[in-house]
Structure 1
Amino acid sequence: MKESMLLTFLTLYSTSSAAASAVVPTELFSPLIPQKIANTANSLPSPIQYPQYTTTWNVTNPGIWLDFIPDTWTSGFFPASLYALNTREALCGATSANALGIADWLELGRSTSTGLIPLETNNTNLQHDVGFVSFPFSEELLINPQNQTAIDAVNAFATDLAARFNPIVGCTRSWNTADPTDFTVIIDNMMNLEVLWASYALTRNETLKYIANTHATTTMINHFREDGSTWHVVEYNSTTGDVIRKRTSQGYANWSTWSRGQAWAIYGFANMYNHSQNADFLRTAQRAATYFLDHIPSDGIVPWDFNAPLDPPPRPADSSAATIAANGLLLLAQVDPTQADKWTNAAINILQSITELAWNPAWQSLLSNGTVNWPANNFLTGIVYGDYYYITAANTLVQMGLAKC
């Protein structure tokens, strides 16, 4: 990437017709997707580590995956991507054109997931993020509901998360803190509730359902502003349940709206409605989605924070926020049929715009222009969960009859 082009990628990609002419991007079904994923799978280190994000635009070799130990919150996304390609092969078949036949995706998903197995009994760093790490095991159970390893993993991860629930606060604790009375909850934790539902489906343990519903209700009350935007972090007093402080950790300012957090909210509350049929959760997902869509700039590119200034400093995009939101909108379309066209069109618009900006054949990741953590100066990268949700969005479009392989 030439230095003179960096600002284009750092800020936003501009096209006047993005919203009006959106179509499903062909790149969603490119043979480069299985080729890149297979190359990464075959290059994982031993003992196994997992890709989380890549090197950036402004290094000699941009777009190279950086691997992290299994006890990292993102470790489940790459094995889950392999399962997602197994799903795609079932949907699309394997042809020379789509390159889906170059690997046994199910075998790769199973073999790479083995590095996650110790985590369900030795959760040192994951804390609340056991839900994300459980994704490959939930995918395995869709294929083989009798797989005891997957059953045990899902149930153990759910037990870990349930143990972090405080009935006074009404939430599961997110990050551990030095002061045990400081009970921190982040909007991301809406996504981890899925493991409680997955375990409930296996065990019929009503406590798991109660915790999921209570956490979502408390989050709905305290994480949302009147306009449908979200705070990233809410701190509670663990002994009284009182809200102490509302702030950000990865956004621009305490009063601003971090786009990935808003995307987690769309997806998380649509998912909670799907499980519970609680109409309040549906309305909350609709509010979160409406805010997200109303605040995407005219060029169609999702910024890392909706309220960050354009200049100075430049406001980078976040391709991961875009793909997470697209998946959340597609789920919302399925549970909110009266507005399905609105949500699906918005999802496709987002996918088209982020593909135009961030699809980069030269990188090991599928997409560039991810913002891992702007305050920590970690942006302009590929991100493993951004890629995962890019793959699953395409699969969902096929399943909904909105795209062809």
Structure 2
Amino acid sequence: MIQINSTLTPSDLSAKLHDFWALSAQKIRAIADHYDVAKGSPVFTVQGQYTTRGWTEWTQGFQFGAAILQFDATGDEAFLDYGRKNTLSVMAPHVSHIGVHDHGFNNVSTYGNLLRLMHEGKIPFNEWEKNFYELALKISGAVQASRWTTIKGRDGEASGGFIHSFNGPHSLFVDTIRSCRALVVSHQLGHVFQGENDVKINLLERALQHIKATADYAVYYGEGRDSYDLWGRTAHESVFNTKDGNYRCPNSQQGYTGFSTWTRGLAWAMCGFPEQLEALSHISDEALEPLGGRASIEAMMLKAARATCDFFIAHTPTDGVPYWDTGAPNLHKLGNYLDRPAEPINDHEPVDSSAAAIGAQGLLRLGKYLTDKGEAADGQRYWQAGLTVMDTLLQAPYLSTDPAHQGLLLHSIYHRPNGWDYVPEGSKIPYGESSMWGDYHIREAALYLQRNINNEPYYAFLNCVK
């Protein structure tokens, strides 16, 4: 269980954040100067050098989004120029990509961040540049919403649906909750998504239906759904019968089993539910009423957010960095691993620092949300847990200080079951490598805290809508 530091404040991390952004700049430059773009999007490192690997192009938005965050944090316009130029020249195929569930990662991280910075006054206002970013975000949300599977409602509820993963129309990934940002942004920008016979499809409705399906099926609440039902257990994949819309079973693509918790999938949920709770405050009661009403929608999201964050706190080592899966087969060989700091170098199972970076943001957002709602004690618990995780990640052995290593956050894992991660000579497990999503999300969490310290506008994805 995480040993929560109850006295830590964001300002206590100021010196670490200063050093972090200097290191981050070096890593962005190293990739820009040395990565071979002919390989495709950089995904993760092998012996410290970024390379590509995977099913789809889902990480390029992190590459250029990282530079935009770097500018946001430091004001160094070289990074703004790099991020903006590459968004223009490289990202268009991601806007119209009908084959992925990753529009939030690719397009909100680039077009969304640039539009946000313009509305916040950090970059000069330009009407046509604004229109360009808005058009990209409008289309991205509609394209993402087109990957739709209709399902039966639970316990007599109305039918629902979800954005299906690249596995096919039967497959709901927990990751995809963060692509609901694309739908919500598109809706809030006033976009109208049209289908056959000019049928108008409500993008907010689709986002909320996907979020509800994730809460209903991917997240467990200790209510006896199966023999391993625990409060906050999270399945990477939920499988449906597309003939009749019925739910069938949990599964895992990158975790160990559908009955254990792949911790990066858990982290996506931890981050996704709180950020959507925050977004609801910008959406009118009139828009929410026909979709279930504010109270019901908030309760559904808050239950899932609490459950996943509670599970993370309970099933993570004391310093806040989890092992890659809570049911990994050799964890028992580590003894009382939850009662001591994580051990990135061991003979049995790897940690996943990227899950910690993503999850930390979720803990912080949920903590602030509850505090703002008057639940100070619970809010403080999650907030301090998030700070505790960040304090760990912003120092050795997780920050990559070696100038020859292109990664920023060490000890990230991509796909343990497939054996994609580099295993150093003499080791039994992978360690010491980085990933685009880990590097991006540690930057995002660092920016979140820095803005808090500096009393800047609250960092939220819907800041791109004005």
- For the aligned pair, the TM-score class normalised by the smaller chain equals 0.7 to 0.9
Q: Deviations over 1:73-99 (max 9, x none)?
A: 111101111110111024xxxxxxxxx
> Displacement, 1:44?
4.2
Question: Residues of 2 paired with 1:320 and 1:258: CA distance?
Answer: 12
> Displacement, 1:67?
4.3
> Displacement, 1:345?
1.3
> Displacement, 1:385?
1.2
Given residue 115 of structure 1, which amino acid in structure 2 is its aligned partner?
V
Tell me the SS of whatever aligns to 2:240: strand
Question: Residues of 1 paired with 2:235 and 2:451: CA distance?
Answer: 33
Note if 1:283 corresponds to 2:303: yes
Given residue 387 of structure 2, which amino acid in structure 1 is its aligned partner?
I
> Closer, same or farther in 2 for the Cα pair 1:150/1:70, shift >3 Å?
farther
Q: Deviations over 1:173-221 (max 9, x none)?
A: 11243xxxx5100100111100011111212547110001111112111
> Displacement, 1:49?
3.9
1:386-405 counterparts in 2 under 5 A? Answer: 386-401=438-453
**Which stretch of the first structure deviates more once superposed, 201-210 or 75-84?**
201-210
Which residue of 353, 357, 370 maps to 1:323? 357
Which residue of 188, 201, 210 maps to 2:175? 188
Runs of 5+ unmatched residues, structure 2 = 120-126, 152-159, 193-200, 223-230, 282-297, 334-346, 422-429, 457-466
> Displacement, 1:170?
1.3
Tell me the SS of whatever aligns to 2:170: strand
**Which stretch of the first structure deviates more once superposed, 354-363 or 186-195?**
354-363
1:174 equivalent in structure 2 = 165
Question: Residues of 1 paired with 2:137 and 2:165: CA distance?
Answer: 19
Given residue 399 of structure 1, which amino acid in structure 2 is its aligned partner?
R
Are 2:140 and 2:182, in contact at CA under 8 Å, matched by a contact in 1?
yes
> Displacement, 1:254?
2.2
> Displacement, 1:17?
8.0
1:89-104 counterparts in 2 under 5 A? Answer: 89-90=74-75, 101=76, 104=78
Note if 1:332 corresponds to 2:332: no
Q: What TM-score, normalized by structure 2, do the two folds share? A: 0.72
Are 2:104 and 2:181, in contact at CA under 8 Å, matched by a contact in 1?
yes
2:325 equivalent in structure 1 = 305
Tell me the SS of whatever aligns to 2:249: strand
Are 2:138 and 2:191, in contact at CA under 8 Å, matched by a contact in 1?
no
2:187 equivalent in structure 1 = 200
Which residue of 125, 132, 135 maps to 2:105? 132
Are 2:104 and 2:180, in contact at CA under 8 Å, matched by a contact in 1?
yes
Are 1:183 and 1:238, in contact at CA under 8 Å, matched by a contact in 2?
yes
> Closer, same or farther in 2 for the Cα pair 1:396/1:370, shift >3 Å?
same
2:262 equivalent in structure 1 = 258
1:96 equivalent in structure 2 = none
Given residue 85 of structure 1, which amino acid in structure 2 is its aligned partner?
Q
Given residue 115 of structure 2, which amino acid in structure 1 is its aligned partner?
L
1:49-198 counterparts in 2 under 5 A? Answer: 49-55=40-46, 62-67=47-52, 72-90=57-75, 101=76, 104-113=78-87, 114-121=89-96, 123=97, 126-134=99-107, 135-144=109-118, 146=127, 147=129, 148-168=131-151, 170-177=161-168, 183-198=170-185
Which residue of 356, 381, 385 maps to 1:346? 385
> Displacement, 1:236?
0.7
Q: What TM-score, normalized by structure 1, do the two folds share? A: 0.83
**Which stretch of the first structure deviates more once superposed, 289-298 or 335-344?**
335-344
> Closer, same or farther in 2 for the Cα pair 1:48/1:203, shift >3 Å?
farther
Question: Residues of 1 paired with 2:217 and 2:364: CA distance?
Answer: 25
1:200-279 counterparts in 2 under 5 A? Answer: 200-203=187-190, 205=192, 207-225=202-220, 226=222, 227-276=231-280, 278-279=298-299
What CA RMSD, in Å, does the superposition of the two structures yield over aligned residues? 2.7
Number of equivalent positions:
366
Question: Residues of 1 paired with 2:277 and 2:234: CA distance?
Answer: 18
2:294 equivalent in structure 1 = none
Q: Deviations over 1:73-127 (max 9, x none)?
A: 111101111110111024xxxxxxxxxx4x5121111122221112323x26x52
Q: Deviations over 1:137-193 (max 9, x none)?
A: 10111133642332222122111111112333511111243xxxx510010011110
Given residue 33 of structure 1, which amino acid in structure 2 is its aligned partner?
S
Tell me the SS of whatever aligns to 1:228: strand
Given residue 205 of structure 2, which amino acid in structure 1 is its aligned partner?
Y
> Displacement, 1:267?
0.8
Are 1:162 and 1:208, in contact at CA under 8 Å, matched by a contact in 2?
yes
Are 2:114 and 2:133, in contact at CA under 8 Å, matched by a contact in 1?
yes
Runs of 5+ unmatched residues, structure 1 = 1-15, 56-61, 91-100
Are 2:39 and 2:51, in contact at CA under 8 Å, matched by a contact in 1?
no
Tell me the SS of whatever aligns to 1:104: helix
Question: Residues of 2 paired with 1:307 and 1:162: CA distance?
Answer: 33
2:406 equivalent in structure 1 = 364
Question: Residues of 1 paired with 2:320 and 2:103: CA distance?
Answer: 33
1:10 equivalent in structure 2 = none
Are 1:273 and 1:279, in contact at CA under 8 Å, matched by a contact in 2?
no
Question: Residues of 1 paired with 2:149 and 2:215: CA distance?
Answer: 16
Question: Residues of 2 paired with 1:359 and 1:18: CA distance?
Answer: 21
1:382 equivalent in structure 2 = 434
> Displacement, 1:396?
1.0
Tell me the SS of whatever aligns to 1:376: coil
